[in-house]
Amino acid sequence: MPALIEDYALVGDGHTAALISRDGSVDWLCWPRFDSGACFAALLGTEKNGRWLIAPASPETDGAEESDEAKGTKGAEGSEDSGKSSSSSTSGKPETPAKITRRYRGETLILETDIETADGAVTVIDFMPPGNGSSELVRIVVGRRGKVRMKMELVLRFDYNYYNDYSYTTTKDQIKYDAHLHLNNYGAALDWHPFAGVFLVSLGGWAIGMRNLVIYELENDSARYLRALGASERVVRGYAYRNASLPQLSGLALQLGVVIGGNIVTEIAFQYPGLGNLIFKAISNQDYFLLQGIFIFIVLGVLIANFIIDLVFISVDPRTRLSMQGAGA
């Protein structure tokens, strides 16, 4: 369960902000801007909704009580709050409460969390540096004395768990990594329904063009010559289909770009998860690396489609094979 709202501290960079609970868990963060989808949203549910936890390696944290230091007035170091958490002793001693004290460093949004146990003390420093051109959340663990076993749990839920699940948990004795790619939620590269729908719509114009070319081929001089030689209508139609398909095949490869453009509009209009919607979100979030990857994927798709069309041309048009043989000779 999420902590009480008064148990959260805020760090930000002017473009977005993170809410960090007293037990060291980032339970809310929209990245890279306030209007972006949340990748940490445990504030709305449980840790399965996404969080980034850095805390003592203990069974559970109890942050309901505040220390006398936290109840004091705010000084030059900023506001302070504290709680208690259970902590395992590395020397085999019974578990003792850990004292947690938080404060902001001076007049900044740099959050410092002091954790003191029977075996040692550490300070967790959280901040988001402004003005770097990119949004970053920095978490630093500084050892102050003795030994304190720490654990980290990273559970990412991109865009409110719209695309991908990613979790990473580590302690001194155990490292666990788990990543799940939801094929039914991750874009038109993995979900072909909107792509196929737009392609079928554009296929109507392609079919009309093919019909007109076939009619033209059946009425030109070559078709009359074949009929004069006594060729059956089936043979004439076969040659007509071949000749009519050549310009249509050239346009079919170029149609891929048109389909991708229509796919973007369709997915945005119907809020369908796919490659087009992913492009729109990447543009909105100024995620240039994601855009570069998507465009490379699209360019490779167009190149592969054109290569396949060239191979089909060789099998359909005998003149292509003859010209290749002549060039080889």
What is the per-residue DSSP string for 223-239?
A: HHHHHHTT--HHHHHHH
Cβ distance 277 to 187 under 8 Å? yes
Closest CA to 39 of 162, 164, 159: 159
Residue 76, pLDDT score: 37
Side chain identity, residue 164: N
Strand, helix or coil for residue 247: helix
Domain boundary assignment for the chain: 5-181, 193-328
Cβ distance 226 to 239 under 8 Å? yes
CA 77 – CA 100 distance, rounded (Å): 16
- Strand 17-21 relative to strand 25-30, pairing: antiparallel
CA 135 – CA 292 distance, rounded (Å): 19
Cβ distance 149 to 57 under 8 Å? yes
Q: Which two tokens stand for residue 200?
A: 């079928």
Sign of CA dihedral 273, 275, 281, 287: positive
The arithmetic mean of pLDDT across residues 102-129, rounded, is 93
Place of tokens 């070319």: 213
Residue 239, pLDDT score: 84
Residue 58, pLDDT score: 63
pTM of whole model > 0.75?
Answer: no
pLDDT at 179 over 80: no
Q: Residue 105 region, left (φ>0) first, then alpha (ψ -120 to 50), else beta?
A: beta
Residue 163, pLDDT score: 54
Length, in residues, of the chain: 329
- Strand 8-12 relative to strand 17-21, pairing: antiparallel
Model confidence over 267-303: pLDDT tens digits?
777 767 677 777 887 887 777 888 888 889 888 888 8
Integer angstrom CA distances of residue 135 from 34, 157, 165, 192, 198: 11, 17, 21, 33, 36
pLDDT band at 61, cuts 50/70/90?
very low
